[in-house]
Amino acid sequence: MSSDGTPLKGVERITAYLKTLPDAPGVYRMMNAAGEVLYVGKAKSLKKRVTSYARGAVHSDRLTRMIAETAEMIFVTTASETEALLLESNLIKRLKPRYNVSYRDDKSFPNILLREDHAFPQLLKHRGAKTTKGVYYGPFASAGAVSRTLNTLQRAFLLRSCSDSVFDSRTRPCLLFQIKRCSAPCVNRIDEAGYRELVEEAENFLAGKSRVVQDELVAQMNAASDALDFEAAARVRDRLRAMSSIQSSQGINPTTFEEADLFAAHSEGGQTCIQVFFFRAGQNWGNKPYFPRTADLPLGEALESFVGQFYDERDAPRLILTSEELPGAALLAEALGSRAGHKVEIAVPQRGEKREIMAAALTNAREQLGRRLAENSAQTQLLEGVADLFGLDAPPRRIEVYDNSHIQGAHALGGMVVAGPEGFEKGEYRKFNIKSDELQPGDDYAMMREVLTRRFARMVKEEADQPDNPRWKRPDLVLIDGGPGQLAVACQVFADLGVENVALVSISKGPDRDAGREHFYMPGREPFRLDPKNPVLYYLQRLRDEAHRFAIGSHRKKRSAAIGANPLDEIAGVGAGRKRALLQHFGSARAVAGASLADLSSVSGVSQTLARKIFDFFHPG
C-alpha cells in the first residue's frame, strides 16, 4: 500500500518484490488489479529479471503499458532454466495472457496407427493419447490428409481396417476385398505369415524405405509375369501404382532429410501467419496455417514462443526448421529434447534443398496472410454495417445465433453458433438438449425459453463468481430465428435474469420462406426489412443459416443415436457377448423385455442373478 492507503501499481509494486526474490531460475506472472494475468515469463534469475522491470529503464511501448498495469506478481522457482521454459509454455497456452504470444490450438493432430495387439494388425486413423499398442505414424495436418493416405495404403498393402468385433464375426469377404483394398484375413483368404509380410512392407514404406519396398514388388511382378501368372502380376502392378500415387500427391518431398517440422512465419499489417509443415518418412504429410496473437513482439521472439507452446502437449521431431533465428534456440532445443527423449536440433536453412522448401513455405504463409487480411477487411465492414443497422455503440465482437430443431417435439434440442471479427468460431458452438418434462411437444416458445435461460443463467453466475475469466462470455448481439413471439420470450428471460447491454434481434423468414424478404424485430422498434441486395442482409442470412445447419445436424445425430440405441446396453452385467446371446435366443430386444424369468435363465451365459436383474429392468413394478 502507498502512504495514502491506495494499492501500489507499476514500478513501485514490482520493486516491493525484490527483497524476497531468489537468484534462481523460475517463472513469473504479472497481473492487473482485477486479477487478470497480463504476462507470463521465464528467467534464469528471477531477481535479475524483476530488477530490470523495476529500474524503469527504457522499455518498448508494450512493456511500458504492461509494467504500468501490474498490480501483483506470482513467482514459481524451478530446478533449471529448461524446466522454467517448459512451465512458461504450459502457462501461456493455458492462461492466454494479453502480452504474450497466444494461439488457439484445441485439437490434437491425427496419426495413422498400425495396431499390433492382434494376430492380424489393423490400420486406422487415430487422434488423442497414444495408449493403444502399435506403431504411430504422423502427425498429419488434417483428418482429410489421413483419410486420403489411408485409402491409398489400403490399395497398396491390403491391410484390414475393420474393428476386431467385425473381424471375428465375418463369414465371407466384405466389399473391401472385392474392390482389392483388403486381403480378407478374416475368412482365411491369406494366412498369418502372408499377412505379416504385408505388414512389414507397410511398416518399411511408412518408415521411409519406399524404394526398397517398390524394388521388391517389381521383382514379384516380373516373376509372376515370367511364370505367366498375369493376374497376380496385375495385382502387384496395382499396388505399385497406389504407392506412387502417395508419393506424387505429397507435393514437396525432401531427399536430404526424412523427419522434420518446418515453421515459416510472415508478418504484415499487424498480423502474423505461421505455416507449419510436417515431413515424415521423406514425405510431406501436410501443412496447417496459424494466426497467433503476437503482442507486437519481433518476429523471431514471437516464433520462439509459438514453437514452445506448439510442443507443449506433443513431442518434437529430431529436426525443427524455422524461417527466423530464435533468440533462445539452444535452450528451447534442450527443453524439447528433454521432453521428447531424444536430441532436437533447431536450425534456419541457409542453402540447398532445405532453403528451397523454406522459401516455398514462406510464400504459402505470405499468401495465406494476404487472404486473411482481405477477409478481415470485408468482415470489419460487415460488422460496422450490423452495428449501424441495429444501433450498437460499436461493431459487435461476439454474435450469438439461436435456432431449435425437433420432429413433432421428439429429440428436441437448441443450437447456438458464435461469430465475430474472425468469422465463425466453431469451438464456441453449443447444443442444448431440451430437458423439461413439462414442455408440450412442438412448443417452440418453451424450447427457446429453456435454451436462453440455461445459457444466460450460467453467464450471470460465472460473472458473479469469476468475473475475470468467465467461460460463458457475454455477447454483444443475440440473433434468434423466429418472429415477435420468440423475441418476447427472449426479452422476458433477459428481464428475469437481469441481463442488460445485450442487443436482441429476431429474424423471421419472408412470405413463402423466401430469402431476401426477412423481417427483423427489435424491442421498442417497428419491424423492418432490408434491401434484398444489401450485403449486411446476406451476412445475417449466413449467420441464421449456419445456426439452422448446426441445429439440424445435431438433431439428426441425436435421432440416429436414439434409433441405434438398445435397452440391453443400459443393464449392468450385460456385455457384448451376453447381449449377442440374448438377441440370438429371443430375436429382438422387445422379445427380451417380454420374456419370463425362467426363459431368461435358460439363455447360455445368463445366471439366475443376471436373469433377475434383466427382468427387473424391464418390469420395475
Whole-angstrom distance, CA of residue 441 vs CA of residue 452: 18
Q: Are residues 279 and 321 in the same domain?
A: yes
Phi and psi at residue 573, to the nearest 5°: 100, -15
Domain CATH for 491: 3.30.420.340
Look at residue 243 and tell me if it is in a domain: yes
Look at residue 443 and tell me if it is in a domain: yes
Q: Are residues 348 and 361 in the same domain?
A: yes
Given this model, what pLDDT does residue 490 score? 92
Q: Are residues 555 and 586 in the same domain?
A: no
Q: Are residues 205 and 243 in the same domain?
A: yes
Among 95, 124, 148, the domain-final residue is 95
Q: Are residues 550 and 596 in the same domain?
A: no
> pLDDT tens digits for 232-262?
777 777 777 766 655 554 455 677 888 899 9
Look at residue 385 and tell me if it is in a domain: no
209: containing domain: 111-248
What domain count does the chain have? Answer: 5
Given this model, what pLDDT does residue 332 score? 93
Grid coordinates representing 272 are 502474423
Cα→Cα distances 554→343, 411, 547, Å = 46, 10, 11
Q: Are residues 144 and 224 in the same domain?
A: yes
Which one, of 472, 480, 478, lies nearest residue 454 by Cα?
Answer: 472
> pLDDT tens digits for 268-305?
878 899 999 988 877 788 888 998 888 778 899 999 99
Q: Are residues 573 and 532 in the same domain?
A: no
Given this model, what pLDDT does residue 396 score? 93
Q: Are residues 448 and 593 in the same domain?
A: no
Q: Provide the 8-state DSSP code for 570.
A: G
Given this model, what pLDDT does residue 402 score? 92
Whole-angstrom distance, CA of residue 107 vs CA of residue 567: 33
Among 68, 95, 122, the domain-final residue is 95
Helix (H) or strand (E) holding 273: strand 271-280
Domain CATH for 581: 1.10.150.20
Q: Are residues 472 and 551 in the same domain?
A: yes
Which one, of 147, 90, 110, 98, lies nearest residue 288 by Cα?
Answer: 110
User: Residue 598, CB half-sphere, CA atoms under 13 Å: how many?
Assistant: 0
**How many beta carbons lie within 10 A of that of residue 70, not counting itself?**
23
Q: Are residues 408 and 335 in the same domain?
A: no
Given this model, what pLDDT does residue 399 score? 94
Q: How far apart are the first and last CA of the chain?
A: 69
Look at residue 506 and tell me if it is in a domain: yes
Look at residue 390 and tell me if it is in a domain: no
Given this model, what pLDDT does residue 249 score? 46
Helix ranges, 407-517 (H): 444-465, 484-497
Given this model, what pLDDT does residue 407 score? 54
Look at residue 20 and tell me if it is in a domain: yes
For the chain, what is the mean pLDDT?
83
Domain CATH for 345: 3.30.420
Local structure of 398: helix, strand or coil = coil
Given this model, what pLDDT does residue 532 score? 81
Look at residue 379 and tell me if it is in a domain: no
Q: Provide the 8-state DSSP code for 363.
A: H
Given this model, what pLDDT does residue 401 score? 93
Given this model, what pLDDT does residue 8 score? 72
List, for the chain, all residue ranges whose pLDDT scores fall below the cut of 50.
Answer: 249-250, 409
Q: Are residues 134 and 206 in the same domain?
A: yes
DSSP string, 567-581: GGGGSTT--HHHHHH
Look at residue 383 and tell me if it is in a domain: no
Whole-angstrom distance, CA of residue 305 vs CA of residue 307: 6
Grid coordinates representing 465 are 463468481
Given this model, what pLDDT does residue 3 score? 53
Which one, of 173, 112, 103, lies nearest residue 141 by Cα?
Answer: 112
Q: Are residues 485 and 614 in the same domain?
A: no
Among 55, 71, 95, the domain-final residue is 95
8 Å CB contact between 370 and 523: no
CA 501 to chain centroid, in Å, comes to 32
Please, is 245 exposed, middle or buried when counting C-beta atoms within 10 Å of its C-beta (0-12, 13-18, 19+)?
middle
